[in-house]
Chain A
Amino acid sequence: MVEHDSSDGSVNRRKYLKALTVGAAAGLAGCTGGGGSETEATEGGSGSGGSGDDTETGGSSSGSTWDSQLEVLHGWAGGDGEAAVTALIEAFEEEHPEMDTNFQAVGASANVNLNATILRRLANNNPMSSFANWPGKNLERYSGALMDLEADVWDAEGFKDTMQARAVELCKFNDKMPAVPLGSHRMNNLFYNTAVFEEAGIDASSLDSVDALLDALEAIDQNTDVTPMAQAMVAPWTNLQLWAQILTSQSGVDAYTNFIEGNPDRAAVVEALEALKTINENYITADASSISFTTAGQKVISGNAATIHQGNWVYGMFRADDSFNYKEQWDWIPFPGTEGIYFYHVDSIVAPSNNPSREETIAWQKFVGTKKAQIAFNNPKGSVPLRTDIDPSELTDFLAMTYEDLTDSEAYPPTIAHGLAVTPKTMGACKTAFGDNFMGPFKVEATADALIEAVSE
């Protein structure tokens, strides 16, 4: 019995191993075969890339044939971002219907997955055609692996004249121009629910300083059942950006600029942290620590919170709700005490060097800078185009107003929490400063020390 069992078992085992070996061999063959065809594909791609170039110089964009696939990675996987990127892709495919494209949304939350995927693929020398990322100091992350688009895109299309000078500067990195800007979010906003402000008897236009804001929050707390402010603290960047607004409001743009340039004024840093502590301890929703900014924005829509500070991507969210309209159910003021300032944020499309589809990438990057692309993308996204020649009537009312501020403000400090102002490492250290010390309990001195160490390094 036992013997029979074991011999039976061994036959099975043998068959199994045989099957496994055959499978493994087939797998190996498949791998090598795949590798072979991949090399062929790239060879063919680069070979006929030349012919693509010929067609391009021939001048007809409609008759050109494309040989490689355009692969673009972005992080807009849901909500307003998805709507915006879909509009952008549709417009692009209208322009180049014959091009084989592959637009991939990688993860959603604050580009965590996207950035990891890009870094991994670039480190493995397996670059994509383009990817969405912030320009400016953020590009430090991909140092040494970026394509220069200056001659082929910027000069060829004259973007240096049609884009905002600030955006042009931010797209320069180590004497190259690897990025084309797509749109700008404004950071110094205060969105509020008009019904709640009315109930609490607050005149939004009178809010001109952080102290006035604190008084208003106190009045909402006293006079209504609504939580004065929605704040998302599942991640530390929301505190970092709100703190930057408070610092600028209390101590001026110079104090902020000195901070990001590595000459922080400790007294100003502490003063801003104290104000943020007051807000976080008294006026935000109790579940702040476990919600994301989208949930926080929903609280303003539903009337459970009166105000929110965020980049104007929440406008993309408000806009999606038909019963929550600008100037009716919600309104906007620049963050109290930052009037005349446009806190600058830029989304861009970046191309890596060693590009797998040079001609296709160039055509795509050229398209990103066009009026058509910038209007198609920015309207649903809640951001504004960086070209200086857009007719504001092409934008929604709120964005048209923001666009006018974009072209006509006194100062444009770059955002710290979104890659423009400081290197990724410093930005990480600033977020950690808040993450470790300011998520409740709120330790002002420890946070100030960590922030100052972060920028002084």
Chain B
Amino acid sequence: MATHDNTEHVADATDEAVGWESKLRYFLNSDFVRSAPYWGIPFVLMSIAVYGGIGYNFAISFTDYEGLGTPDYSALDLEMYAQALSSDAFVSAAQNNLVLLVAFTTVCLILGLFLAILLDHGIRFSEKFQTVYLLPMSLSFVVTAQLWLWMFNVESGILNLVVTTLGFNPVDWLGNPSIALGAVIFALIWQFSGYTMVVYLAGLQSIPNDQFEAARVDGASITRTYLRIIVPQLKEASVSAAVVLMVFALKAFTFLYALVGRYRPPNGTDILATLMVRRAFKFGEWAYSAAIATMLLVMALGVIGPYLYYQYKQGSL
């Protein structure tokens, strides 16, 4: 009885003693704290560089900050957002962005899949073809933009050489506002379809041969085999390729800037990124540009968000 009492007492005592000394020691010895120098520093750096930047951008977008000087945080409102949404330039840039996003991503995926299936059939020199298709992806936008600028030239460009040889009138690819966006999308597809091809090819090559054989034994045609058996298994590859392509479409700024060497891209190809940079660095309208940047971020999150949720549901996150 006495011992029992005693032990209880001891237990109570340890509980009290754990109070701060041992608790602190336990805490300091925990994995969380001991590993902190390793993940903590990068975390802090990341937070400042990325999330701090986003936060600052967000804050500026509510002010009227313009020109040189300092932003005034005393009167915060949504005026810049309202101004952007009611401006024709913003609306048409957003439309162009959307068209670019959808057309570019869709065509890239379809073309990439087609090329991947061809290469997966073990055609002769397939490795070399693979390199040929992937090469544009490895080139910088600055290089490809200059290349396409030459090819789009009305008088001496190779595209018009083809068009006129076929007996049509020369086309003003970049000068005609109703064609220009199509021309830009075409150039971007040329550059990125190789990437989707590689992603799909990796997916295709991980599918065992048995499935093709089984399908053949069951008498399925090649089209049917691909449509019903193979392509559905490429869902993962499609989703990840699509996300990368869409994010590229949102920031096609580099290509457009390299194409003309200025912040104003050819008529009819203005996208949110070019509009934002132009308003900020040509006119110093920091608050207005920050508002556009925030909306661009929301659009990018709109693309990435569902993907992350999908990954989370799949258990990959």
Which A positions have Cβ atoms within 8 angstroms of B?
Answer: 17-18, 20-21, 24-25, 107-110, 112, 115-116, 119-120, 122-123, 141-145, 233-236, 285-292, 424-425, 428, 431, 435-436, 439-440
Closest-by-CB residue of B relative to A435 is: B264
**A116-B174 in contact (CB<8A):** no
A25 to B67 Cα, complex, angstroms: 36
**B38-A21 in contact (CB<8A):** yes
At the interface, yes or no: B195 with Cβ under 8 Å from chain A? no
**B286-A109 in contact (CB<8A):** no
**A144-B67 in contact (CB<8A):** yes
**B68-A287 in contact (CB<8A):** no
Residue in A109, A424, A439 whose CB lies within 8 Å of B261? A109
**B262-A290 in contact (CB<8A):** no
- Total inter-chain residue pairs, C-beta < 8 Å: 90
Residues A286 and B172 in contact in the complex (CB < 8 Å), given A20-B42, A109-B261, A144-B67? yes
Residue in B68, B177, B283 whose CB lies within 8 Å of A439? B177
Which B positions have Cβ atoms within 8 angstroms of A?
Answer: 37-39, 41-42, 45, 67-69, 149, 152-157, 170, 172-177, 260-264, 266-267, 281-284, 286
| Distance between A417 CB and nearest chain B CB, rounded to angstroms | 14
**B154-A286 in contact (CB<8A):** yes
A107 to B153 Cα, complex, angstroms: 23
Residues in A whose Cβ lies below 8 Å from that of B38 = 17-18, 20-21
| Distance between B145 CB and nearest chain A CB, rounded to angstroms | 12
Residues in A whose Cβ lies below 8 Å from that of B172 = 286, 289, 440
Closest-by-CB residue of B relative to A429 is: B283
Residues in A whose Cβ lies below 8 Å from that of B267 = 435-436, 439
A435 to B263 Cα, complex, angstroms: 12
Residues A112 and B263 in contact in the complex (CB < 8 Å), given A119-B284, A144-B68, A290-B153? yes
**B177-A112 in contact (CB<8A):** no
| Distance between B76 CB and nearest chain A CB, rounded to angstroms | 20
Closest-by-CB residue of A relative to B285 is: A425
Residue in A119, A145, A235, A289 whose CB lies within 8 Å of B262? A235
**A21-B263 in contact (CB<8A):** no
Residue in B41, B42, B154, B286 whose CB lies within 8 Å of A290? B154
Residues in A whose Cβ lies below 8 Å from that of B281 = 115-116, 119-120
A206 to B261 Cα, complex, angstroms: 39
Interface hub of B42, B68, B177, B286 (most chain A Cβ within 10 A): B68
**A290-B45 in contact (CB<8A):** no
Residues A289 and B174 in contact in the complex (CB < 8 Å), given A112-B261, A425-B283, A439-B267? yes
| Distance between B312 CB and nearest chain A CB, rounded to angstroms | 23
Closest-by-CB residue of B relative to A143 is: B67
Residues in A whose Cβ lies below 8 Å from that of B157 = 287
**B175-A141 in contact (CB<8A):** no
A307 to B172 Cα, complex, angstroms: 22
**A233-B264 in contact (CB<8A):** no
Residues in B whose Cβ lies below 8 Å from that of A236 = 264
A145 to B67 Cα, complex, angstroms: 10
Given contacts A24-B45, A122-B68, A288-B175, 18 further A-B contacts (CB under 8 A): A17-B38, A18-B38, A20-B42, A21-B41, A25-B41, A112-B261, A115-B282, A123-B284, A144-B69, A233-B175, A235-B262, A289-B154, A289-B172, A289-B175, A290-B173, A428-B282, A431-B264, A435-B264
**B170-A286 in contact (CB<8A):** yes
8 closest Cβ contacts across the A-B interface? A289-B175, A116-B281, A287-B154, A109-B261, A287-B155, A17-B38, A145-B68, A286-B154
Residues in B whose Cβ lies below 8 Å from that of A120 = 281
A81 to B314 Cα, complex, angstroms: 60
| Distance between A117 CB and nearest chain B CB, rounded to angstroms | 9
Residues in B whose Cβ lies below 8 Å from that of A110 = 262
Residue in A108, A115, A119, A440 whose CB lies within 8 Å of B176? A440
Closest-by-CB residue of B relative to A436 is: B267
**A290-B284 in contact (CB<8A):** no
**A24-B261 in contact (CB<8A):** no
Closest-by-CB residue of A relative to B180 is: A289
26 interchain pairs, CB-CB under 8 A: A17-B38, A24-B45, A109-B261, A109-B262, A112-B261, A112-B282, A119-B68, A119-B281, A122-B68, A123-B68, A123-B284, A141-B67, A141-B284, A142-B68, A144-B69, A235-B260, A235-B262, A235-B264, A286-B170, A287-B156, A290-B149, A290-B153, A290-B154, A290-B174, A290-B175, A435-B267
A116 to B156 Cα, complex, angstroms: 33
Closest-by-CB residue of A relative to B88 is: A436
A247 to B124 Cα, complex, angstroms: 65
